[in-house]
Amino acid sequence: MKDYQAQLEKLRTDAAECALIRDLATDKAKRELFDRLADHLTVLAKHVELAMLERHKGGM
């Protein structure tokens, strides 16, 4: 479970960093790229979180 938690934290941190870069970017293409990356990493984090919940339910 610690592996899941570490990955979840890393994905959330990476998503936040991408969002920050997006917000600071002056180039439109760069903003769009980092917006997509932030969204994608957020979705991945949600999937990891769901996997953690499913694993926790299965272990009860």
Higher pLDDT, 42 or 5: 42
pLDDT at 38 over 90: yes
Q: What's the domain count of the chain?
A: 1
Question: For the segment 3-16, what is each residue's pLDDT rounded down to a tens digit?
Answer: 889 999 999 999 99
pLDDT at 1 over 90: no
CA distances from 39 to 32, 56, 60 (A): 11, 26, 32
H or E segment and range at residue 16: helix 2-24
CB within 8 Å of 38: residues ≥ 6 apart = 15, 16, 18, 19, 22
pLDDT at position 57 is: 84
| Domain range enclosing 15 | 2-58
